[in-house]
Structure 1
Amino acid sequence: MGTLMSTGELNMQAILFDVDGTLLDTEHMYMLALQAVLADAGYQVSYEQVYATFGLPSVEALAYLGFTKRPDLVQAWQERCQNYQARVQPFPGIRTMLTTLGQHYQLGLVTSNQAAEFLEHDRPFNLSTFFPVQVFAGQTKRRKPAPDPINLALKQLACPPGQALYIGDSLHDMQAAHAAQANFGLAGWGTTVRQPFLGQADAIFEEPAAVSEQVGRL
């Protein structure tokens, strides 16, 4: 179900969530679109190679693959994602988890998505209604892994960082949470990677139900 890495009792007030790989399964939409765009440009890149960029902002993802200063590829990637929109779904159990948590904690959204991008992906599911506080790309000077987006959400929630838990699926998410002095929980249902988080994440949740069941024990 889940693994608690911390042993102290914390008075948790707020739970913040990443989007891609945490609430919404957007992997195939982004990765297949990127792979197709690069193929159109004459570059054969494996799925494993593009997957290594999952969760990074588009400019950083392309730079990781060796394509710097290529706004044409960024634009083409964003447009191609529309062809794979039907592949986006909430992970199983997400709505039930949010319904349960919302009865006991303040909820917030902190993502590197643009607001319009998230709302387009979320339109069929309406998960946005669970989050009175939502922080998107462009609302802070720095993005994750800097703490700024999480700091902004916590300020709006009037929640001390030590009483907040940020749940995400990437190293950037964990680095941002800890830089903000908040707790971090790995959304284990959204990633197969474990090694970098062992001994570093405050909790590892293997499925959404584990968050509802165990967050009060952090």
Structure 2
Amino acid sequence: MGFRPVTHVLFDMDGLLLNTEDLYTVAYQNILTPYGKKYTYDLKIKLMGLQGHEAAQLVISSLDVPLTVDQWLSETKKQYELLFPESKVMPGAKKLIEHLHKHNIPIALATSSSKDGYELKTDRHHQELFSLFNIKTFGSSDPEVKKGKPHPDIFLVTADRFPDKPKPEQCLVFEDAVNGVKAARAAGMQVVMVPDARLDKTLTTEATVVLNSLEEFQPELFGLPPFDA
């Protein structure tokens, strides 16, 4: 497959840059256990990339949980405050972000997380790394992002926030989730997918390229500066 050269790069966060998808699983199961419910990986795939209220509605309806959306969001907030401050950076993420920043490649964060959730995940240990993103879009709390992934809103809104307004075909998206890949494709952008190892490979076919880790990424394939030898 041929890759188009790009000039701008957009990053998802949860499960791609930080290990917070694992922490979401712990949080959800902690809430569901008292009700005798199991948070399965198949359900998780459907939730990844959704806005907070969308995810709440889907998990409540799918598992018949006796909570309202507001009650679910309140319970998850308590869990997040306990778990998220100890999030870890995923392999290869720091090297890639710092490399692109060093070479003046415009980069942006496009996460379905809320601003509050982002701060919980980054404030304690990762402020320096995430300060390299001049543009940050928080899908669950940004009024311009009308619909969550798999809709293209978050990537189109984020790209439009670059001062030079790149066209979608000039943008490369990094994602870990099926819904995120679909959103990037719907936005007309190429997308590098770094899925969970458990994900069925048949669900990765829409990605431009699929990697086991960000450590495998070769910037030069997309016309970006190569890593130093």
TM range (shorter): 0.7 to 0.9
- Select 1:185's aligned residue among 169, 174, 192: 192
In the other structure, the counterpart of 1:117 is 117
| 2: CA distance, partners of 1:38 / 1:160 | 43
Aligned equivalent of 2:209, options 203, 209, 214: 203
Distance 1:53 1:176, change over 3 A: closer
- Checking the alignment, whether the CA contact within 8 Å between 2:80 and 2:117 is kept in structure 1 is no
* CA RMSD after TM alignment: 2.4
1:43 is aligned to 2:29: no
Residue in structure 1 matched with residue 79 of structure 2 by the alignment:
80
- Per the TM alignment, residue 52 of structure 1 is displaced from its structure 2 partner at its CA by 4.2
The AA in structure 1 aligned to 2:187 is A
User: CA shift at 1:154, angstroms?
Assistant: 1.0
- Unaligned 5+ residue runs, structure 1? 1-5
Question: TM-score, length-normalised on structure 2?
Answer: 0.81
Q: Secondary structure at the match of 1:96?
A: helix
1:142-190, Cα deviation, whole Å (9 max, x unpaired): 22221111111111111110011111111211111111111111023x4
Q: 1:181 to 1:60 in 2, by over 3 A?
A: farther
Alignment match, 1:170: 177
Shift of 1:27: 2.5
* 1:94-105 matches, cutoff 5 A: 94-102=93-101, 103-105=103-105
**Which residue of 2, 6, 11 maps to 1:7?**
2
Tell me, what secondary structure is at the counterpart of 2:131?
helix
Question: Paired residues, what number?
Answer: 209
Whether 2:137 is the aligned partner of 1:144: answer no
Q: Counterpart amino acid of 1:89?
A: K
Q: Distance in 2 between matches of 1:53 and 1:83?
A: 24
Alpha-carbon separation, structure 2, partners of 1:179 and 1:217: 22
> Which structure is higher in strand share?
1
Asked if the contact 2:168/2:189 (under 8 Å) is kept, the reply is: yes
Q: Deviations over 1:40-73 (max 9, x none)?
A: 3x22315546644552434244234344743212
1:18-29 aligned within 5 A = 18-29=12-23
TM-superposed CA distance for 1:202, in Å, is 0.7
3-state SS in 2 of match to 1:85:
helix
After alignment, is 83-92 or 179-188 more displaced? 83-92
Question: How far, CA to CA, are the matches of 1:61 and 1:191 in structure 2?
Answer: 24
Give the letter for the 1:209 counterpart.
E
The percent of aligned pairs where both chains have the same amino acid is 19
1:72-110 deviation per Cα after TM superposition (whole angstroms, max 9, x unaligned): 122112212223235521102211111112225210111
List alignment gaps of at least 5 residues for structure 2.
Answer: 225-229
